[in-house]
Structure formats: structure tokens, C-alpha cells
A and B are shown apart, each in its own frame.
Chain A
Amino acid sequence: MPIGYYFAISAIMFCTGLVGVLVRRNVLVLFMCVELMLNAVNLTLAAAARMWGGADGQVFVFFVIVVAAAEVVVGLALIVNVFFRRGTLDLDAPQLLKW
């Protein structure tokens, strides 16, 4: 299997996640789309690791998973706090800084 096909799948998934981040207004769905983009990059890294025959790409995937786990923990705690204060999950609702 040519390694470029993995890159192509990864590119499509990354763009899908990007469109989701731009379109969806529910902050939880936005978070899931960010996870989608992270996984697309992870797939690229793993494919590159196989292409070069080294373990560095896999180590990067490992670290990305660790950072994503930490990000999800803190991010979801923030979302819960914001929801209890604001009562909404709409990203466009907080407009305190809007002129």
C-alpha cells in the first residue's frame, strides 16, 4: 500500500474536522472535531514512522495522545464550569467583549 494513501485519508479527515470546528456552534461538538483533527495528524505521524523505518513518529503519536488526554480533562472541566455559569453550550452566546 503506498504510504501516500494514508496521508490522503489523513488530509481528508483533518479537513473534515476543520470544517466541523468552523461550522458547529455546540462547544462539545467542536471539541470532538478537534479530536478528529488530532487523530488525523496522528495517522500521518504513524504513516511517516513506517515510511522512514524509525520509531520517532510513533513516539510523537504517543505524546500527542497524552497531551490530548490532558487537554480533554481540563477542557471538559472548563466547559462544565462555563455551562453552569452561562447555562448554554452555544459558542456564540458569550458576547461580553462584543462592541
Chain B
Amino acid sequence: MLLLAQSAAESAGTSATAETVLFWIFAVVAVGAGIAVVTMRNIVHAAMMLVVNLLSIAGLYLGLQSGFLSIVQVIVYAGAIMVLFLFVIMLLGVDRDDLLTETSVLRTSGAVLLGAVLAAGLLFVLGTSSLTTASACGDAATANDGTQLTCVGLDGALADEPQGSVGFLADSLFRDYGFPFEASALLLVVATLGALVLGRRKDPALDEQGTPSAPVPSDDDLDALVASQVELAQQRGLQPEGTVPVTRLPEDAADEPPPGIITGDATHVLDDAEGREVGDPAPPRAGKDPAAAGRTLADEADEAPLADGTSDGTVNGPENGPDDASGQDEEDR
């Protein structure tokens, strides 16, 4: 679609009808997608509509003889920024309750009324000015008699530039706006550092009462989880190879963890549940693992890398951390 717009925009400098067609297509799509962003109930759909809106604006830039801005719009907005948006949406969960339905009618109608009044005022001012009548660019309307606004257009300016709109923009950007350009570079560095500082967390998340939102599971919880998993597996007739039946061994038998296995404590398990040490291949609770003591070291070495994330729906013993186990539990139910 943008390629078609590109070819249409190349002739837009000379042909007014090409620009008109280009404008109406992209204007209708842009406004419709903009309204859809506000009214869509699914947040992912709203993000997709915003992508459509941004691409339409890129098409409008082409009609405005600003080819470089159009490319930047596609790359930066529709590419980078929307990917970031979608990443955060997926990270925080898309199946959250829709907050639009809970909005009060009074608030919604008041906001819509305010927006409509503002839009009507803006459009009224535009309609009464000469911008919509006598300001068509390229229609030999450059004779400015001082009484009405006329559109100069970029044809003359772009004709002097061998690089087109890129050189046109770069001339002004690096000559007249050099200091703001450097300042924007500094701004980007500061924003990157700010995102880094905001993105790192040392301690588990706290809820409103100031307690960890993911409580540290006790040994009884873990044992119950393990038992439920094994029971489910036995009900389904699943008995994967390499898994020994779980028997509760005496505590002294599990005192010495096998070498090469990181003995984790409960905090370690919580970190794993938070997803920060996903790359840690060791089963975190080797010391309390009842099955670990009943197996040979070779079994441990074989199965240890499988313990994180790669375990599928089958139950492979109590190797999994509490996060994995609870996830499987939810899947099974």
C-alpha cells in the first residue's frame, strides 16, 4: 500500500488529482483507525488500529512531499514504538478486565461532548479561513495579495535539492537546528538510562500492604504440589521414563546434595518464579528433593538441564520448581 502511495506521491507534485486521491484514502483510514483506537475493547486490537493509523499518517506525509518523514514514521513509530507497546501489553497480560465497561456514563458522555465541542470549534475556524478554499498547493495559487493565505508548496525548495526531502530536511536540521539535535541525542541517552534504572528490580514485587506478592512457598506447599502432580500423572497413566516413584525419604538421606547441583533455598526459588534466573539450569530444591536422593548422579546430570522451562505437559517428577509445578497444575485443571 505504501509502495502504491509512493508512486502516487511522486506524481503528486505535478498532478493534483493524485494527491487528492491519496489524501482521501489515507485520511479516511487514519480517522477511522483513530476512532477505533479509542473504542476498541481489546487492547491488542486497539494497538493494531494505532498501527494502521500511524501507517496512514505516513501515507499523508507522502502526499505532503515529506518522503523522509514518511519513512521515519514507518520505522520509528509503526516499527519501534508499537513493538514496544505490544511487548508491554503482552508482558502485563492481555486478558485483564476491560476497564472501558466500568466507566460511568456521565464521564463518557461529558468527555465525548468536550471533544465534539473542541473539534467543532477547530473545524469552524478552519472552515471560515481561506485555508480550505484558496490554499491549494501547486495550483498556481502562489500569488499572495496579502488578503488570504496561500500555499507556497515544496516544489521549488525540493527542486534545488539533489537528495530530495532528505537533503532538504538535513540542511535545516544540521545548519539551523544543530544544538537541538545534540540535545535530542542527550535526551535519548537519558531516556535509555532511565529505562535501565526503572527496569531493574532487586527485591520481589510488593503489593499494597508491603508484603511480597508472591509468598515464599513452604515445604508443605511444595510437597502438596509434588504429590498432586504425581497423583494426576498416575490417574492419566503417565509414567515417564527416568522418573522414580516419589517416596518420602528420611531427611538425613537427602542431606548431601549431589555435586554440580546448586542447592537453592526458598529465596532462590522465588527468584526463579520471578523469571529472573531462568537460565539457571539446576533444580533449585535439590536438598529437599525426595526423588533426587533416590537416583544416581548420571540421572541428575541428564535431567538437570531439562528442569527449567523445557518440561512439557508430562510430569517428570518433582524436578520442577514451584512455578513450573503450579503452572502445570493450572493447565491440568
What is the size category of the interface that chain B forms with chain A? 35 or more
With beta carbons under 8 angstroms apart, the residue of B31, B46, B54, B63 that contacts A1 is B63
A32 with B50: CB separation less than 8 A: yes
Q: What residue of chain A has the Cβ atom nearest to residue B198's Cβ?
A: A77
Contacts of A23 in B (CB 8 A): 38, 100, 103, 107-108, 111-112
Bound-complex Cα distance A86 to B208 (A)? 6
Write the B177-211 contact mask toward A (1 if CB under 8 angstroms, else 0): 10010001001101110110011010001111000
Residues of A within 8 A of B (CB-CB), count: 73
Bound-complex Cα distance A36 to B53 (A)? 8
Contacts of A50 in B (CB 8 A): 64-66, 137, 151-154
Contacts of A25 in B (CB 8 A): 99-100, 102-103
Q: Which residues of B contact A (CB under 8 A)?
A: 16, 19-20, 23, 27, 30-31, 34-35, 37-38, 43, 46-47, 50, 53-54, 57, 60-61, 63-66, 68-69, 72-73, 76-77, 80-81, 84-85, 88-89, 91-92, 96, 98-100, 102-103, 107-108, 110-112, 114-116, 118-119, 122-123, 126-127, 129, 131-137, 149, 151-154, 156-157, 165, 168-169, 171-173, 176-177, 180, 184, 187-188, 190-192, 194-195, 198-199, 201, 205-208, 213
A65 with B73: CB separation less than 8 A: yes
With beta carbons under 8 angstroms apart, the residue of A18, A76, A84 that contacts B205 is A84
Interface SS majority for chain B = helix
Contacts of B20 in A (CB 8 A): 1
38-58 of chain A: CB within 8 A of chain B: 39, 42-43, 46-47, 49-56, 58
Q: Which residues of A contact B (CB under 8 A)?
A: 1-9, 11-20, 22-26, 28-29, 31-33, 35-36, 39, 42-43, 46-47, 49-56, 58-59, 61-63, 65-74, 76-81, 83-87, 89-91
A51 with B89: CB separation less than 8 A: no
